[in-house]
Amino acid sequence: MNILETDSERLLTAVRSLLERKGIISTAEVMERMASTDAASSGQGARMVAKAWVDPAYRVRMLEDGTKAAEELGIVMRGMPPLGVLESTPEVHNLVVCTLCSCYPRAVLGYPPFWYKSASFRARAVRDPRELLASEWKTVVPDDVKVRVVDSTADYRWMVLPVRPAGTDGWDEERLAGIVREGDMIGVTVPAV
């Protein structure tokens, strides 16, 4: 181990110790948060989307307060920035980007994909989102559908509630969650049967 790693580890230990002595957070809470972060995956967000597709009251709650809706399904949001949910419709397709870095709703989608952090994705999403979606993901948004690009920030994270695909009537939540991909909840792809 080199000196920088040793110094960094000592600093982290000192900060944790100070926070614990002041009663701000315990070691157990830190360990719980680390485990929760490591367990986060796009499957969490897919469960939220599937529930919103079958439960109109949950859908309303999710659109009003994504953080509370996530917690309702047992997803730990404590310490995370607020979660907003953008509903795509037949008239509006939402695309989430972080123009400054890689702000991402990790609690509900896991760690961001490598391309989400790239300067190319961030710039192209703002400059020409239709072309980006078509060329990189083969997602063709019809000309009569508005593409809305929303900036995720350090203070507020966003995810997309995509349009439920035709032909899924009667499907249960588990089956619906199985067709929702991470890209669908960022807006680079759309769910398909």
State the average pLDDT over residues 164-182: 97
Residue 35 in this model has a pLDDT that exceeds 90: no
120 is catalytic: no
Average pLDDT over all residues of the chain: 93
Tell me the pLDDT tens digit for each residue of 50-82.
999 999 999 999 999 999 999 999 998 988 899
List domains and CATH numbers for the chain: 3-36 (no CATH), 41-185 (3.90.330.10)
Q: What is the 3-state secondary structure (H, E, C) of 141-181?
A: CCCCCEEEEEECCCCCEEEEECCCCCCCCCCCHHHHHCCCC
102 is catalytic: yes
Residue 103 in this model has a pLDDT that exceeds 70: yes
State the average pLDDT over residues 153-167: 96
Q: Which residue is catalytic, options 26, 101, 118, 120? A: 101
- Residue pair 42/50 in contact by the 8 Å Cβ criterion: no
- Between 4 and 111, name the one with better pLDDT: 111
pLDDT given at position 14:
87
pLDDT given at position 4:
61
- Residue pair 173/51 in contact by the 8 Å Cβ criterion: yes
- List, as one string, the DSSP characters of the chain: --HHHHHHHHHHHHHHHHHHHTTS--HHHHHHHHHHHHH--HHHHHHHHHHHHH-HHHHHHHHH-HHHHHHHTT---TTSPPEEEEEP-SSEEEEEE-SSS----HHHH-SPPGGGG-HHHHHHHHH-HHHHHHHHH-----TTSEEEEEE--SS-EEEEEPPPPTT-TT--HHHHHTT--GGGGTTSS----
State the average pLDDT over residues 95-112: 92
- At residue 10 the predicted structure's pLDDT band, cuts being 50, 70 and 90, is confident
State the average pLDDT over residues 29-52: 88
88 is catalytic: no
Percent of the chain residues topping a pLDDT of 90:
74
Q: Which residue is catalytic, options 42, 88, 98, 152? A: 98
103 is catalytic: yes
Give this prediction's pTM.
0.85
In sequence order, the β-bridge partners of residue 149 are 95
- Residue pair 126/97 in contact by the 8 Å Cβ criterion: yes
